[in-house]
């Protein structure tokens, strides 16, 4: 579904990504791991067209590198940023409405996700449906951001640090949510620092260090590779 080949990225004259090769298949959950500053967030921002890049990023065999972010979103890629980017003065319901994908006039196709789906997965959002998003807790805001992105009906969703600062119970809820996405046919590229959730739900893991991929393999191989964990993951 998604393939990166020789991807380089820059912030001005600063060279951040150095020839990244990655892939995400249909219905896969793939984790991109590494310490802060390793280039993980830059990778997903470059895929999304938010950072200048060189090389190749193909989505369903179509080259998308250099396209505008809204074009990439229309092709079926959703992006959940680390800072959540909710609209604080709008209600939960209004935030979800802004993410809703509108079908073409006369189209009979139905989106994969509905308001009912969001409220079933996260009943707390239903309780807060008419509450301004700015007064929600951190965990509730994260739920809202995830759900708003889903309302755009993406085939691939990229999620940057969804468990950052969340209580353990909410982290487990997010893990269950990501498994639900896979069950509904959505591929996931998960950017994470926490090994626990990544090893629990991923088919494959990439580890990034200094803007390059230093490991690729299944969770079992990463568990067994103490050298990679010590050098590139453990604080």
> How far apart are the C-alpha atoms of 20 and 56, rounded to whole Å?
10
> How far apart are the C-alpha atoms of 119 and 147, rounded to whole Å?
9
**Euclidean distance between the first and final Cα of the chain, in Å?**
33
According to the model, what pLDDT value does residue 201 have?
93
Token representation of residue 15: 């060279």
Give 112-167 pLDDT, tens digit per residue. Answer: 788 898 998 889 999 999 999 999 988 889 889 999 999 999 999 999 988 887 77
What is the DSSP code (8-state) at residue 186? -
Q: Give ∠ CA 94-92-48 in degrees, rounded to 5.
A: 75
According to the model, what pLDDT value does residue 139 have?
83
Please count the other Cβ atoms lying within 10 Å of the Cβ belonging to residue 127.
Answer: 12
What CATH architecture applies to the domain 76-102+112-186+193-220?
A: 3-Layer(aba) Sandwich (3.40)
Q: What is the pTM of this model?
A: 0.91
What is the DSSP code (8-state) at residue 91? B
Confidence of residue 109 (pLDDT cuts 50, 70, 90): low
Q: Where in the chain is the domain with CATH 3.40.50.300?
A: 76-102+112-186+193-220
Give 99-108 pLDDT, tens digit per residue. Answer: 887 654 344 4
Give 171-203 pLDDT, tens digit per residue. Answer: 888 888 888 888 888 999 999 988 888 999 999
Residues 91-103 have a mean pLDDT of 87
CB burial readout 77-114, b (16+ within 10 A) else e? bbbbbeebebeeeeebbebbeebebeeeeeeeeeebbe
Give 39-74 pLDDT, tens digit per residue. Answer: 999 999 999 999 999 999 999 999 999 999 999 999
What is the DSSP code (8-state) at residue 36? T
According to the model, what pLDDT value does residue 83 have?
82
């Amino acid at each position: 579904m998604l393939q990166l080949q020789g991807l380089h990225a820059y912030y001005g004259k600063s060279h951040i990504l150095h020839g990244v090769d990655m892939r995400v298949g249909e219905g896969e959950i793939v984790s991109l791991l590494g310490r802060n500053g390793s280039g993980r967030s830059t990778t997903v921002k470059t895929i999304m067209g938010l950072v200048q890049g060189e090389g190749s990023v193909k989505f369903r065999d179509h080259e998308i590198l250099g396209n505008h972010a809204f074009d990439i979103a229309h092709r079926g890629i959703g992006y959940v940023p680390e800072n959540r980017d909710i609209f604080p003065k709008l209600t939960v319901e209004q935030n979800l409405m802004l993410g809703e994908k509108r079908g073409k006039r006369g189209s009979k196709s139905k989106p994969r996700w509905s308001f009912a789906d969001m409220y079933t997965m996260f009943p707390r959002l239903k309780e807060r449906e008419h509450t301004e998003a700015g007064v929600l807790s951190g965990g509730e805001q994260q739920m809202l951001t995830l759900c708003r992105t889903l309302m755009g009906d993406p085939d691939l969703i990229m999620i940057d640090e969804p468990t950052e600062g969340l209580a353990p119970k909410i982290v487990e809820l997010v893990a269950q949510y990501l498994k639900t996405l896979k069950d509904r046919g959505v591929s996931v590229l998960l950017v994470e620092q926490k090994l626990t959730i990544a090893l629990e739900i991923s088919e494959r893991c990439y580890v990034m260090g200094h803007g390059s991929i230093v490991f690729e393999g299944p969770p079992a191989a990463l568990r067994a590779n103490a050298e990679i964990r010590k050098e590139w993951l453990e604080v």
